[in-house]
Structure 1
């Protein structure tokens, strides 16, 4: 016989006993603490000890509810997926693709506003969801992607081919995920305004109405002094970038980087004084390549739209070629907090240049009147999210990415497939 929490006998086995309110409250508090740690330090940086310390518990107090860190992280991600499923459902209640996108984005911004106001529990960001490599999470996460794909149903006036729809769905989700980074610059009262500005760009793009799609301009993004980029320092940068993109800052240990290159830890420290120095060099490499693309596109001339399309297409293709992708902007959240302000400032400078080019485009008529600051952040997100495009649009070649991914960004998710 089982005795319930209220003292009454039950015939239920212990395994299916209804959790008490105290149990659920403590479990909820542990999840909230874990989300904070996960969002600050990434999967590899989160520890059960720090999750427990936030609640004045000992680590065994957390293990009573979650057997290990991986199970706790999985619960955080599943909680976030459930929240997104609710946001997607709000979008799917609308009849048109424009209405669905608008309702989804509006629901997301309303939720983020409630979080910022302390009226709702924040959720885990998905930066490290792949690093967890959990079948229990991957299945629901992929199902969430498929549900998001339904929002685009009749985009372009006709059903989109599968590869087009997958690429656009990845673009839509990536823009929503990255919005968390720039929403901090808005007053809470302006969140609905920001949602409307972002929705307008998602649906209708940046290009002025009837503006012809620019001819592709190849850009050289290699090092001027090292075209082959096969030096030892570059190889360390590539290996660290790939690991950080996949597993976050803490997952890219000195041991893993050295193992990937088949060298000793001694060889690592021969080329790099510290891991932090290498990580900062990885980010600097990404900044240098982005600036190289901006300057090469501007030097080629043409309208502001031509400049933006050329640099975006070149960077997205660079991401997909597989040789050396750029470090994802989302990786910033996993590096030590002391390093984050400098990195965010450098990303902001690139976004400011994008905003300036957009302003030039509004002036020359190639870009329609839009919120230049929101659009600039969205360009940054689009370029960086291309590093994961292969996962969500398998079979998409680097050469086809301009039509399937870059073009819908500039002409809008509602534009017909070319």
Structure 2
């Protein structure tokens, strides 16, 4: 091969690889890890699957490449943010960089970002390098918040808030399309404002109210009930994604046969829909009781959000499905679930608006602040990385309090 021809060959190879990465990212977004195959990617590109093996030998290699590419783009956002001199300015720049990337994606200038929700499900020799890179990404995001003048922002707090930032940003998949791309900069500024300054108005204190007891107590016998299937399925979908939580695995979790599964449930889709309904019932219960007990908008918002976060982290009465459980959910179910999430978001926006009106909540964008609040309690499960499962030690101080009062509150 002549020297003149080599650049053209490399250019064609790079262009084809980029096209594969773009198609693979869309498949990853639509079907999750369990539904990700070379054949699915090839079908989207109208190619024979064998032609992809010249670039990626196995589906795990391609899935890992998609995730590493998204993490590389996050690292570019971080490089741009790290030049700022204060933690608040760095966080604001990082959030702005994320929504600028999303704007470019909508305009067709970049390929979509891949979701991180199922990164732990990539198997084989790609598994540990991916987890290591993901951990490194969180550590780097946490460093944005570091400041010698604020020693109360401990490593545990930075790690917890770094995860919250990623979850809050990526949850925008569920609601961002209702905004014009030209408004993404304003969205970023308002989200960063809530992260930095919190929701409580000046003069408001951390309420001293008993938290709500949510969910039903776990049964203390060996009887296999519908509720136990709901708890087991929720646990598995949170851990392994919608497609990864198979009928066999759910049955094995309860040590029952598949026959027993189908005695209590029509099929996995019906059970998953019931898990989402159970989650929404828990949130609705917390919201109604908070509205009845709290005397101000701030107290009601605090009571609902903190009670749900502590419930999610402790697992008492069964956890809720995480918001990221939507990954790879069938389209029909996904549409209905997103409608319910939006309804709950609107309800929380109402509490925030009430607080703004009575002077107990800062003037913020209620709809955006509500979406951030939903993630606060759904993502509390992620603190399992910091504590033993069910151990809520430090949860209020390292996570919930700064999430509601502002990341840098002492």
Q: Which residue of the other structure, out of 266, 274, 278, is the alignment partner of 1:273?
A: 266
- Deviation of residue 252 (structure 1)? 0.8
- Deviation of residue 215 (structure 1)? 0.9
Partner of 2:72: 82
Q: Are positions 1:126 and 2:119 aligned together?
A: no
2-structure distance, mates of 1:269, 1:396: 30
Q: Which residue of the other structure, out of 124, 136, 145, is the alignment partner of 2:138?
A: 145
Partner of 2:92: 102
Partner of 1:13: none
2-structure distance, mates of 1:390, 1:222: 20
Partner of 2:20: 30
- Deviation of residue 396 (structure 1)? 9.2
- Runs (5+) with no aligned partner, structure 2: none
Query: Where does 1:248-267 land on structure 2 (aligned, <5 Å)?
Result: 248-267=241-260
Contact 2:142 2:159 in 1 (8 A): yes
Q: In the superposition, relative to structure 1, how do residues 354 and 155 fare at CA in structure 2: closer, same or farther (>3 Å)?
A: farther
2-structure distance, mates of 1:161, 1:7: 55
Partner of 2:105: 115
Could you report, residue by residue, the CA deviation over 1:361-408 in whole angstroms, capped at 9, with x for unpaired residues?
A: 011111010000000110111111111122156699425312221111
- Deviation of residue 155 (structure 1)? 8.5
Q: Are positions 1:244 and 2:234 aligned together?
A: no
Contact 1:283 1:343 in 2 (8 A): yes
Partner of 1:363: 357
- Deviation of residue 316 (structure 1)? 1.1
Partner of 1:352: 346
Q: Which residue of the other structure, out of 61, 65, 70, is the alignment partner of 2:55?
A: 65
Partner of 1:163: 156
Where do 4+ consecutive residues of structure 1 move more than 3 Å?
3-8, 155-159, 226-231, 392-397
- Deviation of residue 150 (structure 1)? 0.8
Count of matched residue pairs: 404
1-structure distance, mates of 2:253, 2:394: 30
- Deviation of residue 269 (structure 1)? 0.5
* Bigger mean CA offset, 81-90 vs 42-51: 42-51
- Deviation of residue 64 (structure 1)? 2.2
Question: SS of the residue aligned with 2:32?
Answer: helix
Contact 1:358 1:367 in 2 (8 A): yes
Q: In the superposition, relative to structure 1, how do residues 162 and 352 fare at CA in structure 2: closer, same or farther (>3 Å)?
A: same
1-structure distance, mates of 2:182, 2:90: 23
Task: Supply the RMSD in Å over aligned alpha carbons.
Answer: 2.2
Q: In the superposition, relative to structure 1, how do residues 184 and 393 fare at CA in structure 2: closer, same or farther (>3 Å)?
A: farther
Q: Are positions 1:233 and 2:223 aligned together?
A: no
Q: Which residue of the other structure, out of 177, 192, 197, is the alignment partner of 1:184?
A: 177
Contact 1:40 1:334 in 2 (8 A): yes
TM-score (ref. length: structure 2) = 0.93
Partner of 1:338: 332
